[in-house]
């Protein structure tokens, strides 16, 4: 849990002559800063198979486009054949 500096001062109690309390505050502050930096640097996680799934989907799309193109060509050829008959 990340505590604010004010909460830490209240919890530990502030006494300018108490060096241990000041050291504790500094350690806690540094730990909080480190935790926040780690949170900022976390990359978005990606499932290991995401790339494979995307490639498969792209291949399916390409195949569907090819099927549509071939179907269109077939229909055009059929209409031309009907004209000839």
pLDDT tens digits for range 47-81 = 788 888 889 999 999 999 899 999 999 999 999 99
Residue 66, φ and ψ in degrees, nearest 5: -65, -45
pLDDT value at residue 62: 92
- pLDDT band of residue 5 (cuts 50, 70, 90) is low
| Greatest Cα pair distance in the chain | 108
Number of H helices, E strands in the chain: 3, 0
Instruction: List pLDDT tens digits, range 22-32.
Output: 777 778 888 88
């Amino acid at each position: 849990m990340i505590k604010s500096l004010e909460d830490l001062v209240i919890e530990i109690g502030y006494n300018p002559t108490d060096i241990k309390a000041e050291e504790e505050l500094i350690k806690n502050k540094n730990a909080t800063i480190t935790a926040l930096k780690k949170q900022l640097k976390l990359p978005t996680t990606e499932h290991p198979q995401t790339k494979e799934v995307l490639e498969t989907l792209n291949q399916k799309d390409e195949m569907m486009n090819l099927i549509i193109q071939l179907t269109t060509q077939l229909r055009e050829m059929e209409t031309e054949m009907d004209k000839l008959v």
